[in-house]
């Protein structure tokens, strides 16, 4: 779920929401495999979609209301179950234009939006808002008027001392499983396990599989009351045991949890979180100014680049200031063993994956929202585990990136620009045309200072492809002067670099591409009036109404094609850098829409009911994209209809069928 700054103080403006992921599967096998054609609604798969979030927080006054009656489904269904779901829309114009979807604007993925999408496999996401974002009346007032538009009374319940993130997670879980299971003839059911999911799909229903977004869902009252001291002795063993106990409770629910997005908006003291805030224009400047606040840094900005707490290979780091000539540069230096007080992140990772039991009942970890350092530590760990498991003939542990975009960078450049100081300032975005023209400036100095602080094995883990004896003075920008990486992709650290794509593919993992326009890069400098003018000419040179028309015979428009380009560019970049040079390159990419996660969606698909028509258009747009940009080789012999069917549906369905366990 994406949270966006509205005013200068993000803590006062932002509410972080998590996600419970629903896997929605519709239709029998024959129906599920048919193409989307005019007059027929086809299935899709989605690795991050919030089907119950908005209605839960609108209708359920407290998580106690559902938890108390967990063993009385008849009562819960009567009180909270709905048989008259409608797609809430305040402004059709805002929806058509892809304006941000908040609780007062329009819904994107409630049951009514999903009606008729037989055969779909969707990951439904539950995440409670992080309490640190609702601590004061000012926080809640600004959240009501400028961010989520959640009613004040419900925010007060969320922020109450006797409430917790884990309790809200359970509250939404019991709400979700007691909804009307049939809407306008379409069954919508939460699957308990793999066999249940396949039964639902094969009988023509919508199978929902649960996931959680944000490691804070494991926090109960003991943890939240001492959140600032989890890394120190002050929190102590009770906090750790509460978190571990909640993992066990999560694993023992009747409905399996498929995966957890272990980081989110605020730093949870377990996994470093990526920068999640941005707004264009003046508001970006206000955000940069807001990062000077000690209060803000305590909860988010100062902890970017923290990695997995407790680490995997002993490479522990702390903030350090180094003088370089007349300049002072802040970066991370290794901790010694006695400078770090907890291995909490490492222990949580092991317990989620069920490592002690040879990964027999894993709750997989989703890498979205983790910072760059944490992600690469996790990839390194998974690669080590999978090397052993492959030799033993066992199934791999897949890396999941549920709702991401790409940053278009190679790993050295991503690491050099994605750690300090870009975690809390926006030079790349503010000074994009000149930022990558590296001469003898701070960026060059920063890189040298940072790499000198890394041990040789760390350079290999972080920067990949570099020999263990790589000089500390190596500059990753060498040979890239005057190259504007900003061109097409959103450059911030929450988006993934090229080497991450290969790591996910090597693990038999899955990449879900977000449908938020900003994540996809639509606001980047290259999408300007000059490019649009050139693209229109190229479009007209290639386009023929008879060759490029939809299945129902209707024509496409240049404006629609132009709006699809950021998504197409992300798709084909994944295929280009994944390390495969055959049709299997198309097997690990899917949709992670983040519908109802407060995104600004691509205008061609502002909500779920648009998905079938969107897929049909993308079949044609992908053909145009390969012609205009000379990318035909990346199809590896597939038709664009087959490639888009993989992206929209079969890859996601097959991955969930394979890894969602009994």
Q: Which pTM does this prediction carry?
A: 0.85
For 69, counting Cβ atoms within 10 Å of its Cβ (0-12 exposed, 13-18 middle, 19+ buried), the class is middle
Task: Tell me, yes or no, whether 101 lies in a domain.
Answer: yes
pLDDT by residue (tens digit) across 263-311?
Answer: 998 778 788 888 776 555 555 555 555 555 555 555 544 444 567 776 5
Confidence of residue 575 (pLDDT cuts 50, 70, 90): very high
CA distance 138 to 13: 9
Instruction: Say yes or no to pLDDT of 512 above 80.
Output: yes
Q: Which CB contacts under 8 angstroms, 24+ apart, belong to 70-78?
A: 70/170, 70/174, 73/177, 73/178, 76/174, 76/175, 76/178, 77/178, 77/179, 77/180
Task: Tell me, yes or no, whether 385 lies in a domain.
Answer: yes
Q: pLDDT value at position 310?
A: 62
Task: Tell me, yes or no, whether 329 lies in a domain.
Answer: no
Q: pLDDT value at position 274?
A: 84
Task: Determine the average pLDDT of the residues in 216-236.
Answer: 67
Q: How far is CA 428 from CA 345, 374, 422, in A?
A: 30, 22, 8
Nearest Cα neighbor of 366 from 496, 201, 221 is 496
Task: Tell me, yes or no, whether 165 lies in a domain.
Answer: yes
Task: Determine the average pLDDT of the residues in 504-517.
Answer: 97
For 526, counting Cβ atoms within 10 Å of its Cβ (0-12 exposed, 13-18 middle, 19+ buried), the class is middle
Confidence of residue 61 (pLDDT cuts 50, 70, 90): very high
Task: Tell me, yes or no, whether 23 lies in a domain.
Answer: yes
pLDDT > 90 fraction of the chain, expressed in percent and rounded: 43
Strands 205-213 and 121-127: parallel
What is the number of helices (H) and of strands (E) in the chain? 29, 13
Task: Determine the average pLDDT of the residues in 607-615.
Answer: 94
Question: What's the total number of domains in the chain?
Answer: 1
Range of the domain at 168: 10-276+339-417+483-662
CA distance 373 to 461: 10
- Select the highest-mean-pLDDT range: 110-124, 180-194, 384-398: 384-398
Strands 327-334 and 364-366: unpaired
Task: Determine the average pLDDT of the residues in 258-262.
Answer: 98
- Select the highest-mean-pLDDT range: 150-159, 216-225, 585-594: 585-594
Crossing angle of helices 372-391/456-463, nearest 10°? 90
Task: Tell me, yes or no, whether 333 lies in a domain.
Answer: no
Task: Tell me, yes or no, whether 53 lies in a domain.
Answer: yes
Strand partners of residue 595: 49
**Range from 436-445, 521-530, 604-613 carrying the lowest mean pLDDT:** 436-445
pLDDT by residue (tens digit) across 407-461?
Answer: 888 877 777 666 543 334 445 555 555 554 444 445 555 566 556 656 666 666 5
Task: Tell me, yes or no, whether 289 lies in a domain.
Answer: no
CATH code where residue 207 lies: 3.20.20.140
Confidence of residue 236 (pLDDT cuts 50, 70, 90): low
Q: pLDDT value at position 31?
A: 30
Mean of the per-residue pLDDT values of the chain: 78
3 state DSSP class of 336: coil
């Amino acid at each position: 779920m994406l949270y966006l700054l509205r005013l200068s103080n993000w803590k006062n403006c932002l509410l972080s929401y998590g996600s419970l992921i629903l896997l929605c599967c519709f239709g029998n096998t024959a129906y599920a495999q048919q193409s989307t054609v005019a007059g027929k609604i086809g299935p899709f798969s989605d690795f991050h979609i919030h089907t119950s979030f908005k209605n839960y927080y609108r209708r359920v006054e407290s998580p106690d209301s559902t938890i108390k009656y967990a063993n009385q489904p008849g009562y819960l269904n009567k009180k909270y179950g709905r048989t008259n779901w409608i797609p809430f829309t305040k402004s059709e114009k805002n929806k058509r234009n892809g304006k941000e979807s908040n609780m007062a604007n329009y819904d994107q993925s409630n049951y009514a939006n999903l009606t008729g999408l037989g055969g779909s496999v969707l990951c439904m996401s539950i995440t409670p808002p992080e309490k640190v974002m609702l601590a004061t009346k000012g926080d809640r007032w600004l959240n009501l008027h400028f961010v989520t538009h959640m009613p004040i009374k419900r925010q007060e319940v969320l922020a109450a001392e006797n409430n917790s993130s884990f309790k809200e997670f359970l509250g939404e879980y019991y709400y979700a499983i007691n909804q009307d299971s049939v809407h306008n003839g379409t069954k919508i059911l939460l699957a308990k396990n793999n066999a249940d999911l396949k039964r639902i799909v094969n009988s023509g229903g919508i199978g929902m599989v649960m996931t959680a977004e944000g490691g804070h869902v494991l926090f109960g009252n003991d943890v939240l009351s001492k959140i600032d001291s989890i890394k120190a002795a002050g929190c102590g063993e009770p906090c750790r045991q509460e978190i571990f106990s909640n993992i066990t409770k999560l694993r023992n629910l009747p409905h399996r949890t498929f995966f957890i997005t272990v980081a989110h908006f605020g730093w949870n003291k377990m996994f470093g979180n990526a920068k999640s805030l941005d707004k264009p224009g003046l508001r970006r400047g206000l955000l940069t100014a807001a990062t000077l606040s000690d209060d803000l840094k305590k909860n988010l900005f100062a902890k970017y680049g923290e990695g997995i707490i407790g680490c995997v290979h002993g490479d522990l780091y702390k903030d350090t200031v180094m003088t370089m000539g007349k300049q002072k540069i802040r970066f991370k230096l290794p901790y010694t063993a006695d400078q770090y007080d907890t291995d909490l992140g490492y222990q949580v990772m092991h317990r989620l994956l069920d490592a002690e039991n040879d990964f027999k009942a894993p709750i997989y970890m989703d890498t979205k929202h983790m910072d760059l350092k944490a992600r690469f530590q996790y990839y390194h760990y998974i690669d080590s585990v999978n090397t052993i498991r492959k030799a033993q003939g066992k199934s791999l542990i897949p890396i999941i990136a549920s709702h991401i975009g790409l940053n278009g960078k190679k790993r050295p450049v991503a690491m050099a620009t994605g750690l300090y100081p870009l975690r809390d300032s926006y030079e790349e975005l503010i000074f994009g045309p000149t930022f990558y023209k590296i001469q003898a400036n701070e960026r060059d100095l920063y890189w040298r200072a940072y790499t000198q602080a890394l041990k040789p094995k760390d350079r290999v883990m972080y920067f990949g492809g570099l020999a263990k004896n790589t000089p500390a003075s190596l500059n990753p920008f060498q040979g890239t002067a005057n190259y504007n990486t900003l061109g097409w992709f959103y450059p911030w650290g929450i988006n993934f670099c090229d080497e991450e794509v290969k790591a996910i593919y090597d693990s038999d993992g899955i990449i879900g591409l977000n449908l938020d326009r900003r994540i996809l890069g639509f606001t980047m400098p290259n999408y300007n009036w000059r490019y649009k003018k050139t693209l229109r000419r190229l479009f007209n040179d290639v386009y023929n109404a008879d060759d490029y028309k939809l299945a129902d015979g209707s024509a496409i428009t240049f404006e629609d094609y132009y709006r699809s380009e950021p998504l197409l560019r992300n798709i084909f970049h994944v295929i280009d850098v994944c390390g495969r040079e055959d049709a299997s390159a198309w097997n690990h990419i899917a949709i992670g829409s983040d519908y109802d996660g407060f995104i600004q969606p691509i205008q061609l698909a502002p909500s779920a009911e648009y998905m079938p028509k969107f897929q049909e258009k993308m079949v044609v747009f992908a053909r145009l994209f390969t012609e205009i940009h000379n990318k035909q080789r990346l199809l590896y012999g597939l038709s664009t209809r087959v490639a888009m069917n993989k992206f929209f549906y079969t890859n996601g369905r097959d991955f969930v069928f394979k890894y969602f366990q009994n």
